[in-house]
Amino acid sequence: MQADQSVGKVAAVAIDLDGTLVDSAPDLAAAANKTLHAMGAGRLAEAQIRAMIGDGLDALLQRCLQAALQREPDRDELSRGRQLMRGFYRDAVFRLGQVYPGVIPALERWQSQGLILACVTNKASEFTRPLLHNAGLERYFFAQYCADEREQRKPSPALLLQFLEEVVVAPQDCVMIGDSSHDVMAAQAAGVRAVAVSYGYGDPRAGGGLPWRTADRLDELALE
């Protein structure tokens, strides 16, 4: 389905990470459950943790603690959990995860076409760079734009606008690809076309946004 929007020729592509390029849920779930165990809390099913992904590691931790403890975690618990989970995840970034089918062929094609590719993610840079490296995806991207500050997180368009400014590309000549409503909303706020993938962790239409296109696999997506 397409939204009515004035469009130009695609010159740049911003792509979300978790749930779009890679299925990182197994590694995130492992780190979360190690954290819960270290804090004396019960283990959560991977499917339950998968449904909580999307707003960064700290938000995921808070949701996991709330579910495991059956109450809101206090400040000390959040602080301790944050330190533990970051350590567990840092030690095993992309050990169990997988690159989604169709991602590498799509990146290869777009790179060969001369498109400027960037990873725009709510994940912190300390995890994004090693994950992309371990997944073999780092070489495809001009840069990674990571939400190291809360105000940078999508649905804010801040990181997307930074990318456009640095590569000197007009919003109408850019596409943002992601699996959640935050990706669609960030794209719309920046004046960029949004493409929603049908897999991943989120619901791209949850915020009322209408993506320009949808895709079951990135290598089946036409960006002309």
Answer yes or no: do 104 and 187 share one domain.
yes
Answer yes or no: do 17 and 42 share one domain.
no
Q: Which of 16, 18, 23, 183 is catalytic?
A: 16
Q: What is the dihedral of CA 114, 1, 214, 141, to 10 degrees?
A: 30
Does the pTM of the predicted model rise above 0.85? yes
The Cα–Cα gap between 36 and 90 comes to: 16
**Any idea what the CATH number is for the domain that residue 39 is in?**
1.10.150.240
- Catalytic-residue membership of 16: yes
Domain that holds residue 111: 12-23+98-220
Pairing of strands 174-178, 12-15: parallel
- Closest among 162, 92, 107 to 139, alpha carbons compared: 107
What pLDDT sits at residue 54?
79
Q: What is the dihedral of CA 18, 156, 162, 87, to 10 degrees?
A: -40
Which regions of 128-190 does DSSP assign to beta strands (E)? 143-146, 174-178
Answer yes or no: do 19 and 120 share one domain.
yes
Answer yes or no: do 109 and 67 share one domain.
no
Answer yes or no: do 158 and 174 share one domain.
yes
**How many domains would you assign to the chain?**
2
Question: pLDDT tens digits, the chain, 224 residues: what are they?
Answer: 333 345 679 999 999 999 999 999 999 999 999 999 999 999 999 999 999 987 889 999 999 999 999 999 999 999 999 999 999 999 999 999 999 999 999 999 999 999 999 999 999 999 999 999 999 999 999 999 999 998 999 999 999 999 999 999 999 999 999 999 999 999 999 999 999 999 999 888 887 778 999 999 999 998 87
The CB-side HSE value for 83 (13 A sphere, CA atoms) comes to 7
The Cα–Cα gap between 22 and 9 comes to: 27
Q: Which two tokens stand for residue 58?
A: 């700290």
DSSP 196: E
Q: What are phi and psi of 192, to 5 degrees?
A: -105, 150
Answer yes or no: do 68 and 56 share one domain.
yes
What pLDDT sits at residue 162?
98
